[in-house]
Every structure is written in structure tokens, then in C-alpha cells.
């Protein structure tokens, strides 16, 4: 489906890249992280209902999971409603997976019980109550430090085996990871994708229905979006050409936008429930609308993290606890993983559904079947005029046959620009440190993070060292032995 650009989107910057030509009747997709328990099964169902045909090679360090998804993919082809022709195969090496691929999907995850739980629990000892801990802050930075070296290897392999392929990165932290891909292989054609802006468009469609009595859905809403992943902003929004800004200006003064919550109010709510109270408050203060979930926004706009759990709850944000993350890794206990094994065995009834993600739409546009506009993460070549060049930013892009063209989105009010620039400095500092595994240089990025600035420098050092101790086996590409920061730390030297 084509999305019409808003006025601010009509001036495009230089194209980011021109990748391999995509033949809609014969697409070769290489999926790194193909043992995924949620995204891969969703992708398989989307592809089965698409006008595209081809093969998918699934690669995962947990080969058995990739094999199961391959069986599932081939099984789905025989289900009612499957109209496309796809073949799935589990592969055992990056070379076999990537050679000649038209498209590469990257979606990986380390065992949360060994990593993510520490990202949440250890900072909490220092009064840092991250709601997600996956994108920025101490947890997001350590997730990046675990992930970046691996993604440099992926970028090098793509350069060798399929240098012109289109690369779709779904792994968090999206801005760190996508930046690492380009830092390792500047000629890569990589897009960082995230559905937070899609959620904002969905919410705006709801307001168009409720406040303007319009027949509206997400695809009818166009926004001018800009920022960095999970800290994106909108300064223009339309539904079928109708300006939605007056609606937002009315709503921000309503009771709807001035709610307060307690733990009891949120006890039965999912951690993914978005009450939009942080969004409304930031809109009131800065006159631009945040376009990510509140649980992500608070980790960048750190005022809302003050006061611990009670402070978060007051704004309608429910913290994702480490117990939840550990359960998410166990399919039997998780509400986020798909039940492939039960479907294949017949234990659970299967019904073909769509994920509402944008991958198929983007791929169709690259194949020349349509022109499509959606939000993507790309290096800044001018699409955001007052942020650092080459930093990965999130804006809309115009996608058509063999081309992804980021669109000019303008700049920011000074206060918002200041916030974003600070986070970019953290990201860029860690990326530079990762080039030779300089842990002390990475600590500099850690130290200037806006969540860490609430601590004394010695406490920041001890927090950093405790996270290193807890996750040391995942940080083998970093120079721990040569680190003066760790040598000064009681947490590390006494471990």
C-alpha cells in the first residue's frame, strides 16, 4: 500500500544506497537469527500471504531452532490462505547463508537470563529504574557492547558474500547496531527498522476516528518523523489530508492527557500498555509530539525515571522486571513467543495471520511493485539538518525500485535538539571505542549517558564494573585486562 508523503517529506536528500535488484518472483532471503521464536514465525506468515516468491535461508547459532522454523515455513506453505511459493532451509554457516542473497534480515538475542536480567537489576541498586533497558542507559549500552562486535562480523561477511544485498536490522539497540554495520562496511545497504512510529500512527488514526468521526486506519495517517530510535518526534500529522495538529492541541489540555496512576492501577496491565501520559507531558513542554512508547521515552527523557518505581507508575509506566525477561526466554511461560512446536504437532490450532510489520511492503517497493513511505533508521546525510552527519537517525524514507531515499525532516526546537545530541554523543563514543575494543573509551560513553549523570563518578565506575563482572563472558571482544577503569574498581578486582 502506498503512503502519501506529508508536505515536509516531499524534499528528498541524496539516496542512501542502491542495492541489488530484487526479482519479486525469485527473492533469496538470508535470515541471521533464523531460530527466532517470534519474529521468524511472524515473517513466515507474512511471506506466505505476499505476492513474492523465493527461498529463505535460516541461520542461527542454535541450529535446532532454525531447523524447526524451516519445517514450520515449509509447513505453512500447505496451509489455507498461503498463496505465495517459498522454500525454507536451515543453514550452518554464514557463507552458505549469505552467498548471493538479495536480502539479509538480522534479528538476534542473547539469553536474557544471563544478560538482560543484569541490565535491569544491577542499575536498580544505584537508583536507576529503566523501564526496558534495551536501547539507552546502562542496560542499553551494555546490550550494545555485547552486540556490536558480532554485528561487525556480520557486516564483514555481507561485504564478502553479498555486498549489494538489502539488509534489514531488527535487533536492539537499533541505532547502535545499525551504526556498527555502517562503521564496519560503509557501502552496506542497511535499514534499521522499528514499529514504535507505526504505533503512533495507529494512535493518531484512533483520534481521527474518535474526534473527527473519520473512517481511518494507520495507513491513512502520514507524519513527519525525526529523531533517533525510540526517541522520535513528530511535528506534522495528517489523516487523509486532514491536519491532526488542532486535535492534538485540544487533547493535550483535556483530562485524558492529565492522568496519574498508582501501582494498583497498573497491577493487571501488560508492561506494553501505553498510557501516553509521558507523551502528552513532553508535547506540552516542547510543542513537538514524541513518536515512541512511553516506556522507551522515559529512558531518554530521564525526568520521568526519578522517584523509582512510584515515579514511573505515576506516569502510567510499568517497569519490565528481570523475572519477566527470564520468562520471555521460556516459550511455555512467555506471552510473546509463537507456539511453533504446538502448531506443527497439531496440539494447537493454527490460523494464518499477518503481523502488520512493514517488511513485505518495503520489499515490494524495492522490487518496483509500488512506491512506499515509512520510517527507517539510516545514517544522517542531511535528512535531519541539525544532528551529526553519519549518526544513525530515524526519519521517513521514500522506497522504490532499487532505492531507499531518506526524506528531509527539518530540525528541532533547541531543548529537544540538546537532548538528542547528548544521546548521539553516547552512541558515537561507544561505536568509536568498539573499533579496537577499548573498554575505558566505552566507559566514557557510559559516563556521559543521561541516566548515569545522576551518579557520582565513582559510583558510575562501580556500576560499570559490576555489569562487566556479571556479563564478562559476553564481552570477550573488549580489552578487560588493559582497562584502568576496571583496575580501579573494587567490584572488579574483588570478583
Contact 104, 157 (CB under 8 A): no
Strand order, beta sheet including 166-169 = 86-91, 54-59, 27-32, 103-106, 166-169, 189-192, 372-379, 392-400, 403-406
Partners of 242 in beta bridges: 239
Instruction: Report which of 163, 143, 154 is spatially closest to residue 181, judged by C-alpha positions.
Output: 154
Please give the Cα distance from 489 to 456 (Å, whole number): 14
CB contact at 8 A, 137 and 320 = no
Residue with grid cell 542499575, as numbered in its chain: 123
Q: How far apart are CA 112 and CA 91, in angstroms?
A: 24
Burial class (CB in 10 A: 0-12, 13-18, 19+), 303: middle
Residue 423 falls in the annotated catalytic set: no
DSSP 405: E
Could you tell me the sign of the dihedral formed by the alpha carbons of 367, 86, 188, 356, in that order? positive
> How many other C-beta atoms can be found within 10 angstroms of the C-beta atom of residue 379?
22
Phi/psi at 277 (nearest 5 deg)? -75, -35
Interatomic CA distance for residues 291 and 200, integer angstroms? 6
What cell was used for 380? 544522517
Would the CA dihedral through 328, 331, 333, 334 be positive or negative? positive
Task: Write down the residue that cell numbers 561505536 correspond to.
Answer: 431
For 469-490, give one letter per residue: b (16+ CB within 10 A) or e: bbbeebbeebbbeebebbeebe
Cell of 60: 542461527
Which residue, among 271, 337, 328, has the nearest Cα to 130 in the 3D structure? 271
The active-site residue out of 62, 175, 195, 258 is 195
**To the nearest 10°, the Cα dihedral for 380, 142, 59, 165?**
10
Nearest to 89 by CA among 49, 44, 46: 44
Cα–Cα distance for residue pair 49/82, rounded to 1 Å: 5
Residue 94 CA neighbour count, 13 Å, CB half: 16
Q: Dig out the grid coordinates for 16 from the structure.
A: 542512501
Q: Of 485, 484, 432, give the one whose Cα is nearest residue 148.
A: 432
CA pair distance 149, 459, nearest whole angstrom:
27
483: phi then psi, degrees, rounded to nearest 5: -85, 120
Q: Any idea which residues carry the catalytic annotation?
A: 195
Amino acid at each position: 500500500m502506498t503512503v502519501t508523503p506529508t508536505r515536509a517529506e516531499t524534499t528528498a536528500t541524496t539516496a542512501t544506497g542502491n542495492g541489488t535488484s530484487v526479482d519479486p518472483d525469485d527473492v533469496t532471503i538470508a535470515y541471521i537469527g533464523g531460530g527466532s521464536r517470534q519474529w521468524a514465525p511472524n515473517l513466515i506468515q507474512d511471506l506466505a500471504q505476499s505476492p513474492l516468491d523465493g527461498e529463505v535461508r535460516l541461520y542461527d547459532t542454535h541450529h535446532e531452532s532454525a531447523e524447526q522454523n524451516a519445517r514450520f515455513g515449509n509447513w505453512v506453505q500447505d496451509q489455507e490462505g498461503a498463496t505465495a511459493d517459498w522454500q525454507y532451509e536451515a543453514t550452518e554457516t554464514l557463507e552458505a547463508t549469505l552467498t548471493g542473497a538479495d536480502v539479509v534480515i538480522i534479528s538476534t538475542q542473547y539469553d536474557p537470563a544471563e544478560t538482560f536480567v543484569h541490565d535491569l537489576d544491577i542499575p536498580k541498586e544505584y537508583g536507576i529504574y529503566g523501564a526496558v533497558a534495551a536501547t539507552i542507559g546502562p542496560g542499553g549500552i551494555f546490550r550494545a557492547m555485547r552486540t556490536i562486535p558480532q554485528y561487525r562480523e556480520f557486516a564483514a561477511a555481507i561485504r564478502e558474500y553479498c555486498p549489494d544485498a538489502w539488509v534489514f536490522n531488527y535487533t536492539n539497540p537499533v541505532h547502535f547496531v545499525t551504526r556498527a554495520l555502517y562503521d564496519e562496511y560503509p557501502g552496506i545497504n542497511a535499514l534499521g527498522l522499528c514499529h514504535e512510529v507505526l504505533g503512533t500512527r495507529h494512535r493518531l488514526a484512533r483520534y481521527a476516528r474518535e474526534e473527527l468521526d473519520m473512517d481511518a486506519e494507520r495507513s491513512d495517517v502520514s507524519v513527519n518523523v525525526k529523531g533517533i530510535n525510540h526517541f522520535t518526534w513528530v511535528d506534522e500529522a495528517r489523516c487523509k489530508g486532514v491536519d491532526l495538529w488542532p486535535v492534538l492541541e485540544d487533547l493535550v489540555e483535556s483530562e485524558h492527557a492529565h492522568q496519574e496512576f498508582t501501582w494498583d492501577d497498573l497491577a493487571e496491565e501488560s508492561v506494553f500498555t501505553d498510557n501516553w501520559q509521558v507523551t502528552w507531558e513532553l508535547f506540552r513542554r516542547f510543542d513537538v509530539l514524541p513518536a515512541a512508547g512511553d516506556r522507551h521515552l522515559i529512558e531518554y527523557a530521564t525526568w520521568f525515571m526519578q522517584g523509582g518505581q512510584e515515579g514511573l507508575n505515576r506516569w502510567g509506566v510499568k517497569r519490565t522486571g528481570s523475572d519477566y525477561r527470564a520468562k520471555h526466554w521460556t516459550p511455555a511461560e512467555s506471552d510473546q513467543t509463537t507456539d511453533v512446536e504446538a502448531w506443527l504437532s497439531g496440539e494447537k490450532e493454527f490460523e494464518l495471520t499477518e503481523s502488520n510489520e512493514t517488511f513485505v511492503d518495503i520489499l515490494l517497493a524495492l522490487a518496483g511493485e509500488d512506491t512506499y513511505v515509512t520510517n527507517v533508521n539510516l545514517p544522517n546525510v542531511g535528512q535531519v539538518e541539525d544532528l551529526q552527519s553519519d549518526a544513525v537517525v530515524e526519519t521517513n524514507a521514500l522506497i522504490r525500485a532499487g532505492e531507499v531515499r531518506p526524506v528531509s525532516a527539518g530540525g528541532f526546537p533547541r531543548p529537544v535538539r540538546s537532548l538528542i545530541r547528548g544521546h548521539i554523543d553516547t552512541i558515537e563514543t561507544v561505536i568509536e571505542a568498539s573499533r579496537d575494543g577499548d573498554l575505558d573509551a566505552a566507559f566514557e560513553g557510559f559516563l556521559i549517558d543521561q541516566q548515569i549523570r545522576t551518579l557520582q563518578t565513582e559510583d558510575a565506575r562501580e556500576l560499570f564494573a559490576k555489569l562487566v563482572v556479571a556479563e564478562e563472558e559476553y564481552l570477550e571482544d573488549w580489552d578487560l585486562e588493559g582497562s584502568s577503569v576496571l583496575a580501579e574498581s573494587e567490584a572488579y578486582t574483588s570478583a
